[in-house]
Amino acid sequence: MKKTIGKIIEVSGPIVKVEFGEKKLPPLYNLLKVENSQTLLEVEEYESLGICKCLALGLAEGLERGAICQDTGDSITVPEPRRKELLGRILDVFGKPIDGKGKIATKKKVSIFKSPPSFSEQKCHLKVLETGIKVIDLICPFLKGGKIGLFGGAGVGKTVLLTELIHNIAFKKKGISVFAGVGERTREAQELYQELQRNNVLKNTILVLGEMGESPGIRFRTAFSAVRIAESLRDKKEDVMFFIDNIYRFAMAGMERAAMLGKLPQELGYQATLSSDIGKLEDRIATTQKGSITSVQAIYVPADDFTDPAIVATFPHLDSIVVLSRQEAAQGHYPALDILKSSSSALDLEIVGERHYKIATEVKSYLQKYQDLQHIISILGIEELSQKDRIVAKRAERLRRFLTQPLFTTEVFSGKKGVYVSLGKTLEGCERILNGEFDEVDLSKLYMKGEI
């Protein structure tokens, strides 16, 4: 097949204009190979009948006017995984291994661009996925095939919780995990790799990384490369856990990419296509008749501002919202969930059953009353409360301590062995505290323990 040949006519940073013969333009998102350069160009838009505007996927240094470009005839592709070939491997946006463990055996490659499944192909599971983390299983249970957002500012434990979930699901469920590292620090990727290796769950995980130092084009496409691998596994009747760290960085890469292409920004400088960019990714994370994709997404909240447009754009796509709080972290409540702000569509009488629903609602009620009493307690002390309010405060304190838990991921730092607690044991513990069985037990006896 004859390849389309073009010539670079302008280089402006990472934006490269390439001239082809009239009506010979390559399709949008195709990759162009530049003569004597390792950098690939992605066709982003057409400027006229013979000129296209491209984005350099990598360093633009060394690209010059007059250089010859050749259409590769395809967009970005990743290996189509047979079950075990990609497990335990780290890939870049192009599906190439970057872990020094040699080439990947699979020959077949698939484009990262794919239409989301139609409504008739999709399937809805009303089955709760147990995580072994008490506070999550009780307050915001995850649905199999659902989408979960871990919201929080810097340093409140999003990546730690994400790693813990990878560990628990691989450890107990024997499922396959696909992890997309979008715009995160190289140090974090290295730590994650070592953590998964130490906990013996790397063998069930595929990592796709586009780190902070990469160009916006690469960071933006990394999420699509990872979701394409997850889709391929799902279509082979696998149940996949899909982890993204971090959706905010994905939105930021999209903003940088749009700014480079000269698009007019909207509120706070975000691209006008912010909602549709996030929607294109989220719509593909779907469960079908063949298999399921359950997605857990870390979402950085800039300056702890939940009204930021990038944060608001993610809310409509999520089934469970887990809010991590700086205040809870400061009090030593790990995982640092803000129980009153976190929610899940799965916490429904029809889905979790009467006992779970009743206990979770009662726990939230006690914690809400305790929060309302905080002002009086801080000024006058707990002794000035009525007998009824004192009991509420006592039980709320004990419930919050019981819902802390040592994690497998933090064993190295805390010195405490991680524990996996079944939902049944979590419900039993909360029930006994609510019934007053531990009213006189010292708070330290309930702090950072497993089952009661």
Instruction: Label residue 53 by pLDDT band (50, 70, 90).
Output: very high
Q: Are 225 and 208 in contact (CB under 8 A)?
A: yes
- Hey, where are the domains in the chain? 5-71, 77-347, 353-445
Q: Would you call 214 a catalytic residue per the annotation? A: no
Task: Please state which CATH class domain 5-71 belongs to.
Answer: mainly beta
pLDDT of the residue at 206 = 94
Q: Would you call 158 a catalytic residue per the annotation? A: yes
The Cα–Cα gap between 317 and 255 comes to: 20
pLDDT of the residue at 234 = 94
Q: Are 206 and 170 in contact (CB under 8 A)?
A: no
Sequence-ordered alpha helix ranges (H) in 235-308? 247-260, 274-284
Mean of pLDDT over the chain: 92
- The answer, yes or no, to whether residue 1 has pLDDT greater than 60, is no
Instruction: Label residue 423 by pLDDT band (50, 70, 90).
Output: very high
The Cα–Cα gap between 106 and 94 comes to: 14
* Mean pLDDT of the region 327-355: 95
Give pLDDT tens digits for 19-45.
998 778 999 999 999 998 899 999 999
Task: Please state which CATH class domain 77-347 belongs to.
Answer: alpha beta
Give pLDDT tens digits for 301-327.
998 899 999 999 999 999 999 999 999
Listed ranges 72-86, 154-168, 176-190, 427-441; the one with the highest mean pLDDT: 427-441
pLDDT of the residue at 174 = 67
The fold for domain 353-445 equals 1.10.1140
- The answer, yes or no, to whether residue 267 has pLDDT greater than 90, is no
Residue 98: closest CA among 246, 208, 176, 204: 208
* List 44, 80, 184, 195, catalytic entry: 184
In the chain, % of residues over pLDDT 70: 99
* Mean pLDDT of the region 160-180: 87
Sequence-ordered list of residues with C-beta below 8 angstroms from that of 96, at least 6 positions apart, any chain = none
Q: Examine domains 77-347 and 353-445 and report if their fold is the same.
A: no
Give pLDDT tens digits for 357-366.
999 999 999 9
Please count the other Cβ atoms lying within 10 Å of the Cβ belonging to residue 423.
17
Q: Are 8 and 67 in contact (CB under 8 A)?
A: yes
Beta strand 292-300 with 176-182 is: unpaired
* List 185, 203, 355, 445, catalytic entry: 185
Element housing 343 (H / E): strand 343-344
Give the SS3 label for residue 79.
strand
Higher pLDDT, 246 or 381: 246
The Cα–Cα gap between 128 and 346 comes to: 7
* List 144, 147, 158, 257, catalytic entry: 158
Q: Would you call 234 a catalytic residue per the annotation? A: no
